[in-house]
Amino acid sequence: MTRLRLALVHDWLNQLGGAEDVLETLVEMFPHAPIYTSMYWREGMPPAYRAWDIRTTWMDHLPGIYRHHQPYLPLYPLAFARLDLSGYDLVLSNKSGFCHGVRTGETVHICYCLTPTRYVWDFDAYAAREALPLALKTALRPIIGLLRRWDYQAAQRVDHFVAISTEVQARIRRYYGRDSVVIHPPVDTSRFHPDATHDDYYLIVSRLVPYKRIDLAVRAFNQLGLPLVIAGDGRDRAALESLAGPTVTFLGRVPDEDLPD
């Protein structure tokens, strides 16, 4: 029997988060599928990824992109639009950015949508959380308009959308005018369970980036004077640490096996 020729597509591989958890599950399901992505930070990602067939675009060679990929925002559509995956039987994109814009021709393209691109469709809120200067916001608006049109047109070429939640399903309908089915992302439900005993602190596990709004939790625990432990890392860490009071502790990135059950 001929093996299905399947390609996986992922926005970028320079940080760990929920999108990468989904990708790891997809690789387990389709271990022979190549992974197309804009760029791959080999030293910054788990060693297990080195066994994968990861294929990057020309963006992988741009200076500083591994640690600061946001300034290259307008280039991602160009990079993915040049990827011709029409030689596969099935393309499965794992999208929160622009990777659904790959060319597939007659090949069936299923997009597992983590969210329509946040900084394109909710730019004002994104810019406020990132504290972008007014001049930069003004300069970016025409570019955001172009990206929004590209994003919409790319979404029309997708054959089937799968949303991670009913909220994302509503966004797909609102921004793309497309129907979708909901398949929740994989969660190890057997690991996390209520326990009669507990430690006297609250725990957040997250990437520390502005749109996660960890600052709201930090401000709340500052006011309440309750202990909060934050596991995770990201470009917002320094700002959060400067905001935090004496009851808030930062652990940095913690391996899954070391997290409490």
**3-state DSSP of 175-234:** HHCCCEEECCCCCCCCCCCCCCCCCCCEEEECCCCHHHCHHHHHHHHHHHCCCEEEECCC
pLDDT of residue 206: 86
Q: Residue 139's pLDDT is what?
A: 78
Q: Give the pLDDT of residue 69.
A: 83
- For residue 142, the model assigns a pLDDT of 87
- Would you list the domain boundaries of the chain? 6-182, 202-258
Q: How far apart are CA 254 and CA 204, in angstroms?
A: 11
The CATH code of domain 6-182 reads 3.40.50
Does the pTM surpass 0.85? The reply is no
- DSSP for residue 235: T
Diameter of the chain by CA atoms? 63
Residue 3's pLDDT is 81
Question: For residues 107 and 86, is the Cβ–Cβ distance under 8 A?
Answer: yes
pLDDT of residue 122: 83
pLDDT value at position 131? Answer: 67
Per-residue confidence of the chain (261 residues) as pLDDT tens digits? 578 899 999 999 998 888 999 999 999 999 999 999 999 999 999 999 999 999 999 999 999 999 888 889 889 999 999 999 999 999 999 999 999 999 999 999 999 999 999 888 987 777 666 666 777 777 788 888 999 999 999 999 999 999 999 999 999 999 999 999 999 998 877 776 666 667 788 999 888 888 788 999 999 999 999 999 999 888 888 889 999 999 999 988 887 777 765
